[in-house]
Structure 1
Amino acid sequence: MKNFLLLIILSIGFIPAHSQSFNELIAEADEKYDQEAYGESAELYEKALTNEAGSVGQNYNAACSFALAGDEEKSIYYLERAAKAGYKNVDWMKQDEDLKSLHDHEKWEEIVSIALANKEEYEKDFDKELQAQLERIYVEDQTLRHLLNPAKEKFGKDSDNMGYLWKLINKEDERLLDEVVSIIDEHGWVGRSEVGGKANTALWLVIQHAPLEVQEKYIPLLEESVKKGESSGSHLALLVDRIEMRNGRPQIYGSQITTNPETGEQVVHELADPQNVNKRRAEVGLGPLEEYAKHFGITWTVPEETNSSN
């Protein structure tokens, strides 16, 4: 019977029982990681990356899943693949809690050295002084904001403590905005090839927190930078949506979450052409809105188009 079945399969062509594309496997692996199903995530990454090299980030993520699943050898294997393919974010790799179990592995320092060499090669033509200035701004913009959720849990959303924290944040925002505006006016919207990703992101973070008129003034520079591949399309999408929302218009990419004043529940702010939002999101490197909304406890589905008749 087995031979007979084999002849049938060979005669019609082999059809896998569970055939998934590379991208589908990676997407499922990412989802399992988010669900903290690290063993399943690792298996899916391995299945995808066995026959395809994958990106630097995909190999790094596989290393994280294997480390969290308790398989240090496979984690080191994929981390080394990532490093040899060009991974360069050494600072993050060394502080990444996912990889903490690898720090005593005999190959850890070797991989760190490879990543460090990648970083030095990538940054050899950077404006080091400007990079350092913007990376400092990044830290100063984000530090107090990382204290918001812990403070809210400890003191309450409407407490005097939260009011004081926001007062400090607003004061810092004004100071950093003056500094960033001076940088942009002198150097333009400096891109990743000039100062690196973190420093480039600092520009967007500060402008994202700026008054509306400032956002509208500088968004054309960000648009041009994105066209050149020097800035993130997702950063542009978030700034576009914030500007549209602040002008009382529907957002374009679905990045802005607001609170329903009647129910107190979080909702996706009004969208222009919601049927095609995921296409627009994909064009700037954002995942489906359904998945994004889940992070805020929101169930969002693409509304059906309604045809109006005369």
Structure 2
Amino acid sequence: MYLYTLDNYTMKKIFTYIKIVFGLLTLCYFGQNVCAQIDTNKPYFDLLRQADSAKKAENYEFAIRYAREALNYGNLYSHLYNLGCSYALNKSADSSFYFIHQSIHHGFKNCSWLTKDSDLEFIRDTEPWDTLMEHCVNKSRYIIDSTLANFLITFKRNEKKYRLQLDSVLNVIGDNNKVTDSLWQIINSIDNSNIIALDSIVDIHGLPDMCKVGYNAAYVTFLIIQHADSLSQSRYFPLLKKSMDQGCTKKSYLAYLSDRILMNRYYYQLFGTQLSWDDSLKYYELIPIIDSVNVDIRRKLYGLQSLKSYLERIR
């Protein structure tokens, strides 16, 4: 019989396909708000309905034949993506993330589109979003430069080492003493060396963001920019913004950099990411926030937790 001429992989793929797309039809049936998003007149839906009917009737030869023909009308990843979008529109975040992840696994590569697709607005501000973007970048058409990534990661230790020491000293003896002055000199020297090194990298490779060096090394790129001098921060802002629009930089990085630039220029901020040490209170005080009433709305749009939760975590 025709059924036995197919290898197990092909059979598995076809029945997976039937299950996925029929799941989309089921969701359309129970969620009329989603139904408008789906063109049910496309040939593959008719073919998959027939394939599902044949499968229920245990006529597997015809089920496979219809399913194989349906595969000619679209890519598997596009159906997975549509299903993920439909679940997002139906406010089912977990299912949406699952099928978008599967779509990426099966070949979806347009990470930039994920940041723009209005269908995904419901899940874009939730905690797993950054993990989804990282997965997309790692699986996408971009080729990660592992040599450059490993080189950048070597900067991370010194980026944090002396700042952590400074925090410990501030809590014990406060600021404006020989110990803190010495630590600030070391930190400033490291920051200056790092931004010079990053400038050289950018001249040759462009901005080393997630699409070029992966998630961990891109985080080091952000730290170097965030801790650079004011002119360098302003110079890198449009590069980081462009990278974010392409889905290659986390939105939260731009929020932090925006606040740092505003703090240095005007001693104000938009997102509440910046604090300043108050030596009399031995306490980090929040820099004044512009339009503080709406700060959590802005934070959510840029992938940040609420201001209250953030302050509880860092203090």
TM-score range (shorter-chain normalised) is 0.5 to 0.7
1:201 aligned onto 2:219: yes
SS of equivalent to 1:258? strand
Distance in 2 between residues matched to 1:123 and 1:194, nearest whole Å: 10
Match of 1:135 in 2: 153
Decide whether aligned partners of structure 1 residues 54 and 155 sit closer, same or farther in structure 2, where only a CA change above 3 A counts.
farther
SS of equivalent to 1:180? helix
Preserved contact between residue 192 and residue 230 of structure 1 (Cα < 8 Å): yes
Show CA shifts across 1:114-151 (max 9, x none): xxxxx997899311221111111222322222322334
Identity %: 27
1:233 aligned onto 2:255: no
Mapping for residues 18-29 of structure 1, pairs under 5 Å: none
Distance in 2 between residues matched to 1:241 and 1:136, nearest whole Å: 26
Distance in 1 between residues matched to 2:232 and 2:251, nearest whole Å: 19
Show CA shifts across 1:207-235 (max 9, x none): 11111111111100001111111111111
Preserved contact between residue 266 and residue 296 of structure 1 (Cα < 8 Å): no
Match of 1:23 in 2: none
Decide whether aligned partners of structure 1 residues 262 and 135 sit closer, same or farther in structure 2, where only a CA change above 3 A counts.
closer
Match of 2:264 in 1: 246
Give ranges in structure 1 of 5+ residues lacking alignment: 1-50, 57-85, 90-118, 298-310
Preserved contact between residue 241 and residue 255 of structure 1 (Cα < 8 Å): yes
Decide whether aligned partners of structure 1 residues 200 and 273 sit closer, same or farther in structure 2, where only a CA change above 3 A counts.
same
Match of 2:300 in 1: 282
Match of 2:110 in 1: none
Aligned residues: 190
Distance in 2 between residues matched to 1:212 and 1:120, nearest whole Å: 32
- Tell me by how many angstroms 1:277 deviates: 1.3
Task: Give TM-score scaled by structure 2 length.
Answer: 0.52
SS of equivalent to 1:247? helix
Q: Look up the equivalent residue of 1:214 and give its one-letter code.
A: S
1:165 aligned onto 2:183: yes
Distance in 2 between residues matched to 1:156 and 1:247, nearest whole Å: 25
Decide whether aligned partners of structure 1 residues 264 and 143 sit closer, same or farther in structure 2, where only a CA change above 3 A counts.
closer
The answer to which structure, 1 or 2, has the higher relative contact order (CA under 8 A, 6+ apart) is: 2
Q: Which has the higher helix share?
A: 2
- Tell me by how many angstroms 1:176 deviates: 1.2
- Tell me by how many angstroms 1:156 deviates: 5.1
Distance in 2 between residues matched to 1:258 and 1:157, nearest whole Å: 12
Structure 1 vs Structure 2 CA RMSD = 3.4
Which one is further off, 251-260 or 229-238? Answer: 251-260
Q: Look up the equivalent residue of 1:287 and give its one-letter code.
A: Q
Decide whether aligned partners of structure 1 residues 284 and 125 sit closer, same or farther in structure 2, where only a CA change above 3 A counts.
same
Decide whether aligned partners of structure 1 residues 275 and 174 sit closer, same or farther in structure 2, where only a CA change above 3 A counts.
same
Decide whether aligned partners of structure 1 residues 140 and 243 sit closer, same or farther in structure 2, where only a CA change above 3 A counts.
same
1:222 aligned onto 2:248: no
SS of equivalent to 1:285? coil
Match of 1:291 in 2: 309
Match of 2:165 in 1: 147
Q: Look up the equivalent residue of 1:134 and give its one-letter code.
A: L
Distance in 1 between residues matched to 2:205 and 2:192, nearest whole Å: 20
Preserved contact between residue 123 and residue 196 of structure 1 (Cα < 8 Å): no
Mapping for residues 155-194 of structure 1, pairs under 5 Å: 157-194=175-212
